[in-house]
Structure 1
C-alpha cells in the first residue's frame, strides 16, 4: 500500500510499515537517512532500521542531544558502527528521521481535533483527544523537547516544529469558530489552551523530577479546556 498523497507530498521518501495486527502505517522515519534512501530495503533492512530508530529515541531520551554519540545508539541497538552508516550519515541524520515521525503524528492529530459541543459527549470527545495528545507526547517527548531548541536542532527543523504547532492551534481555533465563537477570541483561547496542554505534558515527561497521575492530569486539562470553549464569546 502506498502512502496517501499528502504524506507523499510532505515526505516523498515515506515508506509504509505493516503492523503486527495486519494494518499498514505510514512512518516517515522508515525511509531512514541519506544512505538508506539510495537503495530499496528488504525486510531484514527495515527491521535493522527500526532497531536503530528505537535505539536513537532511547538515547535522545536518556542523554542530551550533544551527549548522544553514534556509539551509544549502536550499543543500544546491539549492532555495529558499520551497520549504522548503511542507514544514517550521522546522529543528526538519525534525529531528523525521528523528527519526521513526530511531526507527522502531530499533524495527523491536528486533523482529528473533534467538534466540542456543550454536552457530555463534547466533553468526552475533547478528553479522548487530550489523552491521545498525551500518548503522542510520551512517545516523542525527547524529540518534541529538542524541536523547541533552534540552536540545537537548527533553524529548519525548529521552523517545521513551529509550523506543526500552528496547525494544532488552528485546528482548535476552527473547532471553536465552528461552534459559533468569536474568531479573534477563539484564536487566543485555543492557543492558550494548547500551551497549557503542551506544558503539562512536558512536565509529565520529566519523570525523574516530578510524578503526576496521568488520568488526573488528563481530567483536569479537559475540564479547563472545555470550560474555555464554553466561556469563549459567541459571535
Structure 2
C-alpha cells in the first residue's frame, strides 16, 4: 500500500534534509567570507557567490548578514557550554586546577573560533536583536556552572546567576579584545590574574549568599 499519508513523511524528511544541508552550506561559506574579508567588508552577495547559490535561498534561511553571523556563532555554542561544564566538573576546586582549565580549555576557545566570535561581536553592534540573543547565550553558558549555584535558591537565585554571568561576560570581553582583536597581554601574567579571580569567585559562589 502506498497511500499519500504513508509517502508524505518520507518526502517531508527529504525536504528537511535539503533545508538543513543548504543552511549549513551557507554558514560554512559565510565563515569563509568573514575570514577572508572581515565582517564589515563582507556582503550577502559575497556569501551567496561563495555558496554558488541565490539571494532567494539565502533569505529563505537568514534575515540579513547580522543574522547569518548570529547563526554562525550558534553553531559553536555547544563548545562554549563545554568550557564552563569542565570547570563545573573539577573534582577538586583549587587555584591551580582553575588556572589549568583556563590555559587548556577556556583560552583555546577564542583562538579556535575567532572568526565566529569576531563576526557576532560586529553583528551585535549593528543589530540589537543579535545583542539580545547573545545575552541569552551568556546566560545559558553560565547555567553550566550550576554546581556552584546550588546554594543560591529562592529569592537569591537571580543574584547567584547574575554574579556568575559577570564572570563569564568578563572572560568573554577580555578574550575578545586580547585573543581575537590582538590587544597585547602577557599570557602567563593574565592566566595568574584570571586564576585568582575565578578561584575566588567560584569559592564564594559555592559557599552561597551571606546569611
TM-score (normalizing by structure 1) = 0.57
Deviations 1:95-114 (A, max 9, x none): 35413313343344444442
1:206 alignment partner, one of 181, 187, 196: 181
Normalised by the length of structure 2, the TM-score is 0.62
Looking at structure 2, the residues matched to 85 and 215 of structure 1 have their Cα atoms a distance apart, in angstroms, of 48
Q: Structure 2 unaligned runs (5+)?
A: 1-15
- Provide the rounded CA distance (Å) in 2 between the counterparts of 1:111 and 1:119: 13
Displacement of 1:130 after TM fit?
6.6
Bigger Rg over Cα: 2
Pairwise CA distance, 1:51: 5.9
Secondary structure of the corresponding residue to residue 211 of structure 1: coil
More helix by percentage: 2
The answer to which of 139-148 and 191-200 deviates more is 139-148
Whether the aligned pair in 2 keeps the contact of 1:52 and 1:73 (CA below 8 Å) is: yes
Question: Alpha-carbon deviation of 1:161?
Answer: 1.9
> Higher relative CO (CA 8 A, sep ≥ 6), structure 1 or 2?
2
Give the alignment partner of residue 121 of structure 2, picking from 145, 163, 166.
145
**Counterpart residue number, 2:197:** 224
1:87-166 superposed matches below 5 A:
88-89=58-59, 92=65, 94-116=68-90, 119-120=93-94, 123-124=96-97, 127-128=100-101, 131-138=104-111, 139=113, 140-146=116-122, 148-149=124-125, 152-153=126-127, 155=129, 157-166=130-139
Count of matched residue positions in the alignment of Structure 1 and Structure 2 = 180
Pair 1:177–1:130, CA change in 2 (3 A): farther
5 Å matches for 1:1-235? 31=20, 36=22, 52-59=29-36, 62-64=38-40, 67-70=41-44, 72-73=46-47, 80=49, 83-85=52-54, 88-89=58-59, 92=65, 94-116=68-90, 119-120=93-94, 123-124=96-97, 127-128=100-101, 131-138=104-111, 139=113, 140-146=116-122, 148-149=124-125, 152-153=126-127, 155=129, 157-172=130-145, 174-178=146-150, 181=151, 184=156, 186-204=160-178, 205-207=180-182, 210-232=183-205, 234-235=207-208
Distance 2:17 2:83 in 1: 18
User: Do the aligned partners of 1:59 and 1:72 also contact (CA within 8 Å) in 2?
Assistant: no
Residue 192 to residue 98, structure 1, CA distance change in 2 (3 Å):
closer
